[in-house]
Amino acid sequence: MSSPPNEDSAPQQAGIVERLVRDDVDRKRFLKMAGGAGAASFGAFVLAACGSSGKTTSTVAATAATATTSSTASTGDLAILNYALTLEYLETGFYEKVVASGLFSGKVGALIKSFGGEERTHVEALKGTVEKLGGTPAANPNGKFPITSATQVAELAYTVENLGAAAYLGQAGNIQSPEILATALAIHTVEARHAATLGTLVKKSLTPDGAFAKPADMSTVLAAVKPFLA
């Protein structure tokens, strides 16, 4: 391995990310439905120590699923959950391709594999929560990712994880259910830790925004993920 340097439509329909990225009308509808008056933010993917056991997944899904009973809150939260789910699908697909590439081995390879497993656990938890709230989980989009070298992949992972963390943070204020908010923040924390760990790998800042993390609005996140949609 070459060593990287040390840096008002239904919310649960299939293909929501592709439609949001490619269709301004759908994007505006989603923003209105999810309660984002203008630029609703979303995102998140960061940390090295998220428990990935089936028990953890079931507990997170069950806890979040008990949260929302009002139809208004449920609709908005389902939209947010499905958006998060689609982003987590993309992250999971990215790590699967990285592991399959064989670019990393040893401790770094094991770390990358564990990150992928944690993203997969996020997918399982979010799908379970959507189903328990009576919604239909978003479809898994086809992702395409440039996998050329260990250095390039590590830097891309650092960028993606920081974007994800900023996205979850941006959407936090739009979540109606306290339990679902707690779940989202638990995932956000792990995503942020992923990003910090990758920062040590690529010799980039562990806290790129300083003492206070900055949220990313939806348009920023969608523009960033668009190149990764097949």
pLDDT one-digit tens code per residue, 92-135: 999 999 999 999 999 999 999 999 999 999 999 999 999 988 99
The torsion defined by the Cα of 121, 122, 124 and 126, in degrees rounded to 10, comes to: 160
Domain ranges of the chain: 16-228
CB 15 within 8 A of CB 230: no
Residue range 16-228 in CATH 3.30.830.10: no
- Lowest-pLDDT choice from 38-42, 150-154, 169-173, 176-180: 38-42
- Lowest-pLDDT choice from 18-27, 85-94, 110-119, 146-155: 18-27
